């Protein structure tokens, strides 16, 4: 790969490695900063010293990569809020009792079933200054009109630390929030909320006002609600109003990336702005005016779209393209990619752990690297055929580049993605151009029928096309088991294959064959590892008992409800462990696993006095005197699953503590596993 021969590529890789090491290992900040200072000092000595000596050049290069590695670590440490002394995560008392907490609402999220959700900035706790981001949940019955971005609210409550997943292989929302530097949630009661009459009027306040004005004016013009939700996602990056059904259609059709503002959208806007600015002459002054308007428009668009990782990446990249056009120099796309990732992560290191950011860069890299190879296999002379072939090759290059990562995160593959792109991209270009014009006029209060209706009809047509493609569910491959080992070796195979296709050679073909064998060995090792596992798990499931006993990839499900086999949390567990349900049995009062006798008590609460169990599992809130039962049976462990009423768990916990018997409530600690 020639791109790896660039010194900038090696510096970028060292920088990325530094961020990853700092994120997962948590090094001592003083040690990192000390080593960085020493390495920079040595670099300065070598730079001003002899430059002709080969040993000096080698030392300078090696030290440059090491300094880049340390800069990556330092960037993440500096941007980690929990290292700041006044961050609320360092105030343990905030999680133990109620406090008066003052917050500023920063970002509106998609509502849950019962709450409106916001990202909020902590200002004070009990009138003492603190900082940090939290996830704020406000009941829907509260007057929502008052809660605009920038609103300052005072709430009496206690912060709750992010909870680990309740069940195995479930999406780790706690880790997701931590990667966003949100370390706690706050559930507010409507009676304990006081709203300040004066909001904080910063740039986010005015951006939110513009967005609200656009949406309000389009709603007044009787713009279709479902079309408006998609339009605001495409242009303004606001996805919280899109219905779950529409999102599912886009996922099944392989077009969910369309709903997240990214390079595709910024590219359309870039072309549109260039078209509008064509009348400006290409003199030195005219070129500078064009560049200024382009950069200002792109960054304003990024602000309107919420500065998501993918939009920041796209705007930075197209800004470099615009600067290259202004300087009349050809832009090396690899250099542009490397410089953009360095600049973005230098100021926002946590973007590296955003799924959208990862998929976005991979898609662009493989389009740039692999698409020309695919395009070279056929060069149609017909313009329509060439346009369709270009869309197909771009789609395949992006899909191949992102496939392993998509399988790792989402475990599904939309088989009709190429048809979706052929049908949607031409229409999307029209929608983007119309959308920019319509929303620009809507911000000024002009929403004439002849202006808004073409955009509305275009989006409704887009939704109809997506819905039609998504309806062919037989082409959607779901629940594909895929782990990090398979992810890594899949990319080794893909990269080695592209290197061979680019310039076929026997040695490269050998490397491809070795990659195939290595991937197969990784799959076989994974299967062997799974087959040698045995575990017995009590899931945390509300209102029902769900127990799984797994031997290798065969699962026996114990539940009284036949619908439990289709449970989402169970499905996540099966996919994560490359397993399937071999049989389902009704719950019995006794179970055995690896020499442990397990007594299961249901709502009736009847048990034999001579049972002598090792473990007692309490389900459906059994009517028993727990202390008397513990004295009689003397178990080694008591488990209470999610089917029990929460009010009684504290009593049971106290009874177990009195008898010095461990107590595990799944509602508090999550699932319980024996292995």
DSSP string, 189-248: -GGGEEE-SS---SHHHHHHHHHHHHHHHHHHTT--HHHHHHHHHHHH---TTS-HHHHH
**476 within domain boundaries:** no
Q: Are 262 and 356 in contact (CB under 8 A)?
A: yes
503 and 620 share one domain: no
170 and 253 share one domain: no
440 and 498 share one domain: no
**550 within domain boundaries:** yes
CA distance 392 to 395: 5
167 and 232 share one domain: no
631 and 552 share one domain: yes
524 and 546 share one domain: no
For the segment 174-181, the average pLDDT, to the nearest whole number, is 88
pLDDT of residue 523: 93
CATH number at residue 173: 2.40.50
For the segment 372-389, the average pLDDT, to the nearest whole number, is 86
364 and 464 share one domain: no
pLDDT of residue 54: 61
pLDDT of residue 521: 95
**577 within domain boundaries:** yes
Which of 201, 219, 245 finishes a domain? 201
Selected residue with higher pLDDT from 331 and 291:
291
**499 within domain boundaries:** yes
pLDDT of residue 430: 85
**66 within domain boundaries:** yes
**403 within domain boundaries:** yes
Task: Encode pLDDT of 335-352 as tens digits.
Answer: 778 888 888 898 889 989
For the segment 77-105, the average pLDDT, to the nearest whole number, is 87
Residue 67: domain span: 2-78
Task: Encode pLDDT of 435-483 as tens digits.
Answer: 888 888 888 888 888 888 888 899 899 889 988 988 888 888 888 999 9
The answer on pLDDT for 404 being more than 90 is yes
Q: Are 160 and 99 in contact (CB under 8 A)?
A: no
120 and 225 share one domain: no
343 and 224 share one domain: yes
pLDDT band at 407 (very low <50, low <70, confident <90, very high): very high
**What is the overall mean pLDDT for the chain?**
85
Question: Which of 103, 110, 87 has its CA nearest to residue 178?
Answer: 87
Domain count, the chain: 6
The answer on pLDDT for 489 being more than 90 is yes
Task: Encode pLDDT of 16-51 as tens digits.
Answer: 999 999 999 888 889 999 999 998 888 888 777 655
573 and 619 share one domain: yes
**605 within domain boundaries:** yes
Q: Are 367 and 397 in contact (CB under 8 A)?
A: yes
Which of 140, 168, 201 finishes a domain? 201
**58 within domain boundaries:** yes
pLDDT of residue 81: 87
176 and 46 share one domain: no
Which of 78, 111, 144 finishes a domain? 78
Task: Encode pLDDT of 596-626 as tens digits.
Answer: 999 988 888 777 777 788 999 999 888 888 8
490 and 606 share one domain: no
């Amino acid at each position: 790969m020639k791109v790896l021969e660039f010194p900038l590529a090696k510096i970028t890789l060292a920088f990325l490695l530094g961020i990853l090491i700092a994120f997962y290992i948590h090094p001592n900040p003083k040690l990192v900063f000390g080593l960085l200072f020493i390495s920079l000092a040595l670099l300065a000595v070598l730079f001003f010293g002899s430059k002709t000596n080969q040993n000096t050049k080698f030392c300078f290069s090696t030290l440059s990569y090491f300094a880049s590695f340390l800069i990556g670590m330092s960037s993440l440490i500096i941007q980690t809020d929990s290292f700041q002394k006044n961050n609320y995560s360092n105030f343990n008392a905030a999680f133990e009792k109620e406090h008066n907490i003052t917050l500023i609402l920063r970002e509106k999220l998609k509502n849950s079933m019962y709450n409106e959700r916001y990202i909020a900035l902590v200002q004070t706790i009990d009138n003492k200054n603190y900082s940090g981001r939290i996830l704020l949940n406000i009941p829907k019955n509260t007057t929502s009109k008052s809660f605009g971005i920038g609103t300052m609210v005072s709430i009496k409550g206690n912060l709750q630390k992010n909870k680990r997943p309740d069940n195995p292989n479930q999406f780790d929302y706690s880790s997701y929030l931590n990667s966003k530097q949100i370390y706690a949630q706050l559930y507010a009661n409507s009676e304990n909320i006081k709203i300040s009459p004066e909001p904080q009027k910063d740039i986010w306040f005015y951006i939110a006002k513009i967005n609200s004005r656009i949406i309000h004016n389009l709603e007044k013009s009787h713009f279709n609600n479902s079309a408006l939700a998609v339009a605001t996602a495409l242009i303004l990056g606001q996805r919280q109003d899109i219905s779950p059904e529409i999102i599912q259609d886009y996922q099944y059709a392989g077009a969910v990336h369309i709903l997240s503002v990214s390079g595709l959208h910024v590219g359309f806007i870039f072309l549109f702005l260039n078209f509008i600015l064509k009348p400006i002459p290409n003199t030195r002054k005219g070129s500078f005016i064009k560049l200024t308007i382009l950069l200002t428009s792109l960054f304003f668009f990024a602000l309107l779209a919420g500065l998501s990782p993918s939009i920041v990446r796209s705007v930075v990249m197209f800004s470099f393209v615009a600067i290259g056009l202004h300087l009349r120099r050809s832009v090396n796309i690899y250099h542009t990619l490397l410089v953009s990732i360095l600049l973005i992560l230098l100021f926002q290191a946590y973007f590296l752990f955003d799924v959208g950011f990862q998929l976005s860069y991979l898609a662009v890299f493989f389009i740039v690297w692999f698409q020309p190879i695919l395009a070279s296999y056929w060069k149609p002379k017909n313009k329509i055929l060439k346009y369709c072939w270009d869309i197909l090759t771009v789609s395949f290059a992006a899909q191949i580049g992102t496939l392993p990562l998509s399988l790792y995160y989402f475990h599904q593959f939309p088989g009709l993605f190429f048809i979706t792109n052929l049908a949607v991209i031409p229409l999307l270009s029209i929608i983007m151009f119309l959308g920019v014009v319509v929303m620009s006029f809507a911000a000024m209060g002009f929403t004439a029928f002849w202006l808004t209706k073409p955009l509305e009809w275009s989006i409704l047509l887009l939704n109809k096309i997506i819905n039609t493609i998504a309806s062919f569910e037989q082409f959607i491959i779901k629940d594909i088991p895929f782990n990090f080992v398979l992810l890594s070796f899949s990319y080794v195979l893909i990269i080695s294959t592209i290197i061979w296709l680019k310039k076929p050679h026997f040695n490269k073909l050998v490397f491809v064959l070795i990659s195939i064998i290595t991937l197969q060995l990784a799959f076989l090792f994974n299967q062997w590892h799974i087959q040698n596992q045995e575990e017995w798990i009590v899931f945390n499931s509300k209102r029902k008992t769900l127990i799984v006993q797994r031997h290798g990839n065969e699962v026996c499900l114990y539940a009284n409800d036949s619908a439990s086999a289709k449970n989402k949390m169970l499905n996540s567990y099966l996919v994560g462990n490359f397993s399937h349900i071999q049989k389902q049995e009704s719950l019995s009062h006794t179970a055995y696993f690896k020499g442990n006798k397990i007594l299961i008590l249901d709502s009736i609460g009847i048990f034999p006095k001579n049972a002598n169990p090792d473990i007692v599992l309490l389900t459906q809130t059994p009517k028993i005197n727990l202390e008397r039962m513990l004295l009689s049976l003397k178990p080694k462990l008591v488990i209470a699953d999610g089917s029990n009423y929460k009010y009684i768990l504290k009593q049971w916990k106290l009874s177990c503590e009195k008898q010095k018997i461990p107590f595990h409530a799944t509602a508090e600690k999550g699932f319980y596993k024996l292995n």
